[in-house]
Amino acid sequence: MTSRKILTIIGARPQFIKASAVSAAIAACPQLTEIVVHTGQHFDANMSDVFFPELGMDKPAYHLAIHGCGHGEMTGRMLIDIEKVMLTEKPDAVLVYGDTNSTLAGALAAAKLHIPVAHVEAGLRSFNMVMPEEINRILTDRVAEWLFTPTSAADQHLLREGVAENRIHQVGDVMFDVALRHGARASAQSDQVRKLDPALQSQAYCLITIHRAENTDNPARMGVIVDALAAFAEQTPVIWPLHPRTRAVFAKQGTLEALARSVTLLNPLGYLDMVYLEKQASLIATDSGGVQKEAFFYRVPCVTLRDETEWTELVEGGWNRVAPPTGAATVLAALRASLGTCGDDIMPYGRGDAAERIVQQLVTDLD
Ligand code: UDP
């Protein structure tokens, strides 16, 4: 077989992290070559550049620098520019990850050019169409040729939607691959983590991340989260690496300074810093999909500050508790109730070889 060309589209923090595992597997495969396109959806150094060297990834071949606009404009501009790259590069397949605007734009541009699409993290569903992520993932799954799913639940969702069984490949979760590959290297990398009060790190603390629009765009929900955390912080210190979107909300409200009095606020962290803090946390509270799973990988109880989660096996297994941020008292009760708990001995995310299995499937089918 002559070498087949894979065009990978990434643009947001979790995609850099997921791609690190698959890109490494592609690099180790003589039958495939990879061209990486960074759409620019996430562009701050600490939301993008930091991940490439620390996860052993090359600089993307293309950087489209598309950001700072609404969903329609962002997706539309990505479609235009990604199509141009596809026409130049003429890939044999296009690889997209997760559920962002970059995912949808990459999948749609490829499908229109009749280039087969591989979707990593296919089949996830929140059944909440208000979420932009749900729209992106359903449409991407619809046009994808290969649906690489992380779990049996994801397979079931796709089968129920009528997806042909031979397009569904349950390979496991690539984030588990990344955790196994890089988790042991996790250590304090940045000054902001090295300089954290050593007393704080030796105590029980709660690590929190919030970035989903359903929370950040809703002042009532953000108020509930802040009130619950401020109350919880009286008992257990709280460390919060702020996503730029979340920081912007607090800055606009003028509430950053007050929050910083009860909670330790940090800038977004690199992966190794983040995993370092996750591993030592007594509790993680988040609306992130990836952080929910990492809490489980490192056996830390997790409270999900959303109305639902895609990662239902963690709730069923007793590792995760969903606490919709609709009342501070109930969120506070969930945080307190989760502290010190541990779930069942489950193994829902495969064997840590999802990336190799994806590459093997592509090699077989592109032959
Ligand atoms: N993460 C990070 N630094 C941070 C916060 C998160 O490296 O300050 C990592 C986290 O460890 C996980 C991924 O980012 O691997 C999750 O991405 P995010 O929460 O942005 O998106 P989601 O998983 O919800 O799609």
Mean pLDDT, rounded, for 30-56: 97
Q: What is the pLDDT of residue 316?
A: 98
Q: Is the CB of 290 under 6 A from ligand 1?
A: yes
Closest ligand 1 atom to 12 CA: 20
User: Residue range 344-359: average pLDDT?
Assistant: 98
Over range 317-346, report the average pLDDT: 98
Interval 266-276: pLDDT, tens: 999 999 999 99
| pLDDT beyond 90 at 2 | no
According to the model, what pLDDT value does residue 200 have?
A: 73
Question: If you average pLDDT over residues 11-34, what whole number do you get?
Answer: 98
Question: Which atom of ligand 1 is the closest one to the Cα of 175?
Answer: 15
pLDDT given for residue 6 in this prediction = 98
Which domains occur in the chain, in start order?
A: 4-173+350-366 (3.40.50.2000), 191-338 (3.40.50.2000)
pLDDT for the residue 49: 97
Look at residue 105 in the predicted model and tell me its pLDDT.
98
**CA nearest ligand 1 atom 2, residue:** 271
**Is the whole model's pTM more than 0.75, yes or no?**
yes
Quick check: 131 pLDDT over 90?
A: yes
341 pLDDT above the threshold of 80:
yes
Residue percentage of the chain with pLDDT more than 90: 97
Task: Establish whether residue 48 lines the binding site of ligand 1, counting it when its CB lies within 6 angstroms of any ligand atom.
Answer: no
> Is the alpha carbon torsion for 232, 234, 235, 240 positive or negative?
positive
Q: Which of 10, 13, 216, 277 to mutate to test the pocket of ligand 1 (most atoms within 8 A of CB)?
A: 13
Is the pLDDT confidence value at 252 over 90? yes
Q: Are 242 and 259 in contact (CB under 8 A)?
A: no
The answer to whether the CB of 90 falls within 8 A of the CB of 96 is: no
Instruction: Look at residue 74 in the predicted model and tell me its pLDDT.
Output: 97
- % of the chain exceeding 70 in pLDDT: 99
pLDDT of 23 above 80: yes
Q: What is the pLDDT of residue 203?
A: 81
pLDDT (average), residues 72-98: 98
pLDDT tens string 192-249: 999 997 767 778 999 999 999 999 999 999 999 999 999 999 999 999 999 999 999 9
Which whole-number Å values give the CA distances from 104 to 41, 46, 75, 288, 311, in the listed order? 12, 24, 8, 19, 21
* Contacts of range 188-196, beta carbons closer than 8 Å, 24 or more positions apart: 188/273, 188/276, 189/54, 189/270, 189/272, 189/273, 189/276, 190/269, 190/270, 190/273, 192/266, 192/267, 192/269, 192/273, 193/266, 193/269, 193/273, 193/276, 193/277, 196/239, 196/264
In this prediction, residues 165-181 reach a mean pLDDT of 98
Cα–ligand 1 centroid distance for 290 (angstroms): 6
Given a cut of 80, whether residue 306 has pLDDT beyond it is yes
Establish whether residue 288 lines the binding site of ligand 1, counting it when its CB lies within 6 angstroms of any ligand atom: yes
Instruction: Determine whether the shortest distance from the Cβ of 211 to ligand 1 is under 6 A.
Output: yes
